[in-house]
Structure 1
Amino acid sequence: MTARLQGRTALVTGATSNIGRAIAVAFAAEGAHVVVVGRNPERGAEVIAEIEAAGGRADFVAADLDGSAAASTALAERATEVLGGRIDILVNNAGIYPPATTTTTDDATFDRVYAVNVKAPFFLTAAVAPAMAARGSGSIVNLGSWISRLGIPVGSLYSSTKGALETLTRAWAAEFGPSGVRVNAISPGVVHPALPEGTGPHPGDVMMKGTPADGPGTPEAIAHAAVYLASDEAAFVHGTVLDVDGGRVAVAVVAA
């Protein structure tokens, strides 16, 4: 533990699995008191147990971020209470990805994906950022995606939501930055936990063939970037989308 976030408080959405879980664990390891947000209390309890076993501090708050302002505001209020009156760091990580094409997406799916991926972080930021601005400090980290800038055949709906969140990152940096609130984003490549020995490759791994990394990343790689953006080391970083994607969007890919 290097205590880069010692004394800070953090709210991490979608924190019961994959990237969100890794960010919550990494923040706690750096000294932050973390509110782990998710829909499943059992999975939430597992994350809390992992953090506490390592000497960190965390609490689980159940929330279904359905895109309504009411749900996001209720979460902000509950997290603020649990964290002792303030939220120093907000990570907008929760998101859903339906494997649908444009022509197979119906109204309900479209509305649900935009509600979870765009409206929920929009209204959560609206509920959290003003108190940060009033204190003159705070950090918001959004999770984008490499496919918001590099199109693939299946993913038009999801990629458009992540493009919206990356645009909001820049807009919020302009809106809240002058009051001391830094807003940045991370754009992960294909990322997933290590697969059990003997299992086949993850379906998304083929998208990373031929990149400098030549394979998928781990949730911990994204968590390291989140710690940096949330910490004082990134004090001069505003409105940036940090690519943590193994070189997927920056380097010509030559698949073997």
Structure 2
Amino acid sequence: MKNAVITGATKGMGRSIAIAFAKEGVNLAVCSRNESELTQFKQELLAVNPQIKVFTQVADGSVKDQLLKFAGAAEQELGFIGIIVNNLGMFDPVSILDESDAAFEKQLNTNLMPAYHLYRYFGKSMIAARQGHIFTICSVAALDPIAAAGTYSVTKAALLGLSKVMRLEMMPHNVKVTAVIPGSTLTNSWEGTTIPKDQFVLPEDIASAIVNVYKMSPGANVDELIIKPVGGQI
């Protein structure tokens, strides 16, 4: 059985991605700051597929020590981690000149650093095994910055840059790296919106795309996957 670590997995895209991999028979390691959410989600995943293992641990993925403690426990519990989905992220709709002094560091530690730390933690074992697939959930803001969400755009652009470097480093070792670049996706960020559901990309669309990329033949790698609403950005 394959084993996956998914950050930010109890909500939004991460939740849908975890469910999709559970249906494929992949063992899962997920963390969250909320213990009751984790407990409930674990039961949901096991209901989807009782044959898989689900490891959960309370951890704040934006805090390096907590993230690495979770990574080590996941490896110990499940064995070799062959799939990483760097989904943890936050969106703060404010311009750089108007944001708080702590805003940049907070978004850096949430949107970029977890992917960097998990790569450094699991990367060499993937190289040794000559297998693995790393998915980074970026944003179209990495390609077309949003003035009203400046620091978000900067951190997502950095995440896309990290994904490109990871891919170059991993190419000689048969390890795949895919940057997933979603447009307007109906997650908690849009809570309370009156815009019809059909005008958004859905979290299930992102999950389906990731699983299909993962299931491609050994010689195929999707470098970047851009998924936007059919009518354009909202």
Q: What's the TM-score, normalizing by structure 1?
A: 0.82
SS at match of 1:154: helix
Kindly indicate which of the two structures has a greater share of residues assigned to helix: 2
CA contact 1:11–1:89 (8 Å) conserved in 2: yes
CA contact 1:140–1:183 (8 Å) conserved in 2: yes
Q: Deviation at 1:59?
A: 2.2
Cα 1:234–1:97 shift into 2, 3 Å = farther
1:131-150 correspondence runs (5 A): 131-150=125-144
Q: Deviation at 1:103?
A: 1.0
Cα 1:104–1:31 shift into 2, 3 Å = same
SS at match of 1:36: strand
Aligned partner (choices 33, 38, 54) of residue 44 of structure 1: 38
Aligned partner (choices 12, 18, 37) of residue 24 of structure 1: 18
5+ residue gaps, structure 2, are none
Separation in 2, partners of 1:226, 1:133: 21
Correspondence 1:227 to 2:227: no
Q: Deviations over 1:78-116 (max 9, x none)?
A: 110121x21010000001112221111233111111011
**Aligned position for 1:236:** 220
1:180-219 correspondence runs (5 A): 180-192=174-186, 200-201=193-194, 215-219=199-203
Task: Kindly report structure 1 stretches of 4+ aligned residues shifted beyond 3 Å.
Answer: 232-235
Aligned partner (choices 92, 114, 120) of residue 120 of structure 1: 114
5+ residue gaps, structure 1, are 1-6, 209-213
Separation in 2, partners of 1:225, 1:109: 31
Deviates more, 1:90-99 or 1:185-194: 185-194
CA contact 2:181–2:225 (8 Å) conserved in 1: yes
Cα 1:71–1:247 shift into 2, 3 Å = same
Q: For residue 243 of structure 1, what is the amino acid of its counterpart?
A: I
CA contact 2:31–2:56 (8 Å) conserved in 1: yes
Separation in 2, partners of 1:192, 1:82: 33
Q: For residue 168 of structure 1, what is the amino acid of its counterpart?
A: L
